[in-house]
Amino acid sequence: MAEEKTYLGGCHCGNVRYEVRTALDAVTECNCSICSKTGTRLAFVAPEQFRLVAGGDRLADYQFASKRIHHLFCPVCGIRSFARGSGPGGREMVAINVRCLEGVDTSALAVRHFDGASL
């Protein structure tokens, strides 16, 4: 099991910045329409493990299907670096796009595949 640590992340242009505390044991790769089109690899954390540092007032929101997840993105560069919503059982979570974390090689992480296309 990987050690829990704090990572810095954000969008491409730097308008959106955040800190997240997680172990990054593995990432989830979902085959739903939005994740497959954006190439997202995700780590899920509780809201208290996430702190938005900059850009909260600039975020744009996109929802589809069940509308349980707020797919937030920077309106300047278009990058979806994280999302907020409710996971299975209705528990609040933050979905981190691990590709947007500084110093993380996502190809070195174990990948769990999730069949979101079938939901």
pTM for this model (two decimals): 0.91
Tell me phi and psi for residue 79, to 5 degrees.
-80, 135
Q: Residue 2 has what DSSP assignment? A: P
Closest to 20 (Cα-Cα) out of 5, 41, 31: 5
Return the H-helix or E-strand segment holding 96: strand 92-97
- Residue ranges of the domains in the chain? 5-113
The partner residues of 45 in beta bridges, in order of sequence, read: 94
Q: Say if residues 35 and 29 touch (Cβ distance below 8 Å).
A: yes
Which CATH architecture does the domain made up of 5-113 adopt? Beta Complex (2.170)
Residue 21: both structure tokens together: 């505390």
pLDDT band at 1 (very low <50, low <70, confident <90, very high): low
pLDDT the model gives residue 87: 79
Percent of the chain with pLDDT over 70: 99
